Structures are given as structure tokens and as C-alpha cells.
Amino acid sequence: QSGIITMDEGYMNTGACKSAVTFIDGELGILRYRGYDIEDLAQRSSFLEVAYLLIYGELPSQGQFGEFRNRVTRHTMIHEDLKRLYDGFPKDSHPMAILSSMILTLSGYYNDQLDPLNPRHREISITRLLAKTPTIAAYSYKKSIGQPFVYPRNSLSYIGNFLNMMFSVPAEDYAVDPVIEKALDLLLILHADHEQNCSASTVRLVGSSRANLFAAIASGVCALWGPLHGGANQEVIEMLQHIHNDGGDVNKYLNMAKDKNSTFRLMGFGHRVYKNFDPRAKIIKKTADEVLQKLGVNDPLLEIAMKLEEAALNDEYFVERKLYPNVDFYSGIIYKAMGIPTEMFTVMFALGRMPGWIAQWKEMIEDPTTKIGRPRQIYTGAAHRTYVPLDQRG
């Protein structure tokens, strides 16, 4: 198929690593997990089933999926000592800092089961990470608003459990809204993997030293935090809010984004690989409209986003540079409608990306030829020099 580079050609020409997990064609706007189109999976699968597909390479049978779902469900609680760590974070700590620290600290509970080369140890780490990340994320939100932690409930779905831990309070009953549950499941599917992006490459590089999975993933969380990567979904909402507060003149900001003397960038636009529409953005844009309507939310930021997109797609600067909305442009509008606070948006990205990071780490451990080798450099420093003692240097 067009766009698929062969291993030899690719490796020699681009230094790209080999992987069988995700395929992207940036020109044609194609994204496939283990060969399945993202559109197909978004419409017909579930996040936990997509996690299985990415990690183990095949869609599970009913028996395999039942065992996987039970295994994950039964490990969603975190150690009571880990809960106490939340008290140690400064009050306004960003939840991405908490998420990375807590994931790394998790390794301390499995000290004698962390060997990446031991298949049983790998399964233990994979299950614990998938199971406990939503709990860790929800607890960081509860801590930030001074509400009590809500324990996971095995009777709820993976997504329903997260929503319950985020939004229920002991004082009253809480029912998971099926509209929100379905929309969140879709969003996490769309974020589940994206080949060798900044954070996935970080996970591979850290994992290539045979550091354990928790250490590799904690590093990936830090890479994702950057505003040019996963942090963009938080930046988009802050940008749209700023434009709204400033009267909603999208052309003023479009011109700022084109002005080389301005540091302003249209967050949520552009992509290192997609030089066509990001297929995820198309699906999220459609979902944003549906979810806001079903929830009866009338968010002026959605209208600003759509006006901004239309103006950019008709502007020579953006068209010439093939700058289209990426996965981060509309996702924040849906998270906001769900009641998820802005500072948690990038944590939501990490929740979704967890199976992709795990799949790529597992692939590299099980097939060392998929390792990202030690990067070399083009040296541009000083030519060879001889040391001059300090008292002779004036």
C-alpha cells in the first residue's frame, strides 16, 4: 500500500524504528491500530477491547476479553500507603506531575516482579498499570477539590468506574450518564496509540535500558505533558476561552498565529505527520456536536472553534503549510462538557494513551529489533583544544 516503507529502506533512509502496533499515513489521513481503521474501532469497539488489541495484537475472543476485563477490574484499588502520598504534593501541583510520580512509585509495591524479560512480571505490570491509572488520576482530582477519595467499584465498567471515582460523593447517589460514558470511551479509543510520537518514543528509549515498565511509562507521562504534545488539549481550551473573552474575533488571532513576530500559535492545529486532516479530529468534531446537544450544553467555545477552523482552512498560510486541526483541537470541548476540569485534560490523554505506550514497550522487549537504537549526533562544537590552567587564563 502507498506510504508503507519497507523495514530496510525505512531504517536506512529515516532511522525509523520498526513496529507492528500502529500505522499512520499522514498524506492520506489514515490511522490503523494493528491493521484496523480507527473509524471502524471508534464506531464498533470499546476502549478496553482496543487496549487488548494494541497490547496482544489481536481482537480478543469473548473468553479472552472476559478474563482480561476481570483481571483489570480486580486490580483497580491502590495501596493505602500510596493514598497518603497525595498529602505530600504542594496544593497546586499539576495532575500530570502527580500521575507520573504515582506511577513511578507503584513500582515499589512490586519490587520482586519488575523484570521486563520475565513474561509473568510483564503481565503483572501491564495489568496493574491499566487498572490503577484511572484510580490515581481520579484521586488527584478529588484531592485538588478537597473531596474524599471514592474507591473503585467492581460492578462498574472501566470508564464508568473512572467517572464514579471522579464525580460521586459519599453524600448522595451518583449514576453514570451513559452519554458521557460512551463519549469518554470513544475519546480514549482515539487517543490509544499514535506510533512514534514524542511520548511513545520516550517510553521506548527509557524501556530500552531495561528500566521497568512503571519507570518507562512515568517518563512517557512527562513527555506528554509538554504543550506541543499532549498538553495542547489544555492550551486549546485556554486559547478558545481567551478569544471568547476578547470578543470572539477569530481573524485577529488567525493573523497573530501567522505573524512571525508573535509567539502565538494556533494550538490544536498542525501535526508532525498528518499533512491532511487528522482522522481523529474529524471523529471528535462530530462527537462534540452530538454530546453537547445530548447533554444540553451550549458552549460558545465550540462555535469559536468551528469558526476558527473554517477561517484557517480558507487561509493561504494554513493551507500552504498543510495545518489542519489535530486530535487536541476539539477534545477539550467534550471533556469540559463532561465536567472534567481543564488541568485534567492532559491526564485524560494519558489515560487513553496508556495501552499504546504499554504495547510499544512490550513489543520492544519481546522483539529487540524494534528498539530505538542509541541516537547518534552531528557534532557542531569546538575543534580539538588543549587545556590552559586557570592562572594562565588572565
- Taking CB under 6 A as the rule, does residue 268 contact ligand SDX? yes
Measure the CA–CA gap between 218 and 62, rounded to whole angstroms: 32
| Chosen residue from 79, 242, 252, 321 binding ligand SDX by CB under 6 A | 321
Indicate if 87 belongs to the active site.
no
| Chosen residue from 229, 285, 336, 362 binding ligand SDX by CB under 6 A | 229
Q: Which stretch binds ligand SDX (CB under 6 A): 13-21, 72-80, 302-310, 323-331?
A: 323-331
Q: Give me the long-range contacts of 179-184 (CB less than 8 A, separation at least 24).
A: 179/291, 179/294, 179/295, 180/291, 180/295, 180/338, 181/157, 183/287, 183/290, 183/291, 183/334, 183/338, 184/159, 184/338
- Taking CB under 6 A as the rule, does residue 219 contact ligand SDX? no
- Taking CB under 6 A as the rule, does residue 285 contact ligand SDX? no
Residue from 328, 367, 384, 391 carrying the catalytic annotation: 328
- Taking CB under 6 A as the rule, does residue 242 contact ligand SDX? no
- Taking CB under 6 A as the rule, does residue 326 contact ligand SDX? yes
Phi, psi torsion values for 19, nearest 5 degrees: -155, 145
Q: Which stretch binds ligand SDX (CB under 6 A): 51-59, 79-87, 267-275, 335-343?
A: 267-275
The 3-class secondary structure across 109-150, one letter per residue, is HCHHHCCCCCHHHHHHHHHHHHHHHHHHHHHHHHHHCCCCCC
- Taking CB under 6 A as the rule, does residue 240 contact ligand SDX? no
Binding-site size for ligand SDX (CB under 6 A) equals 20
| Chosen residue from 21, 159, 223, 267 binding ligand SDX by CB under 6 A | 267
Residue nearest to ligand SDX (CB): 270
Residue from 185, 191, 271, 278 carrying the catalytic annotation: 271
Q: Which stretch binds ligand SDX (CB under 6 A): 59-67, 173-181, 269-277, 371-379?
A: 269-277
| Cβ(79)–Cβ(135) below 8 Å | no
| Residues 372 to 391 in contact with ligand SDX, rule: CB under 6 A | none
- Taking CB under 6 A as the rule, does residue 192 contact ligand SDX? no
Nearest to 364 by CA among 3, 21, 6: 21
Q: What angle do CA 225, 204, 64 make, to 5 degrees?
A: 95
**How far are the Cα atoms of 115, 139, 247, 248, 339 from residue 213, in angstroms, in the given order?**
9, 22, 47, 45, 31
- Taking CB under 6 A as the rule, does residue 32 contact ligand SDX? no
Instruction: State the minimum distance, in angstroms, from the CB of residue 139 to ligand SDX.
Output: 25
| Chosen residue from 194, 204, 285, 362 binding ligand SDX by CB under 6 A | 194
Cite the beta strand spans of 158-264 per DSSP E.
none
- Taking CB under 6 A as the rule, does residue 269 contact ligand SDX? yes
Measure the CA–CA gap between 41 and 191, rounded to whole angstroms: 12
308 by Cβ neighbours in 10 Å (0-12 / 13-18 / 19+) ranks as buried
| Chosen residue from 176, 232, 301, 333 binding ligand SDX by CB under 6 A | 232
Measure the CA–CA gap between 152 and 6, rounded to whole angstroms: 45
C-alpha cell at 247: 470578543
172 by Cβ neighbours in 10 Å (0-12 / 13-18 / 19+) ranks as exposed
- Taking CB under 6 A as the rule, does residue 189 contact ligand SDX? no
Indicate if 40 belongs to the active site.
no
| Chosen residue from 134, 270, 352, 355 binding ligand SDX by CB under 6 A | 270
Applying CB under 6 A, the residues found at the interface with ligand SDX are: 194, 197, 228-229, 232, 257, 265-273, 321, 323, 326-328
Residues annotated as catalytic are 271, 328
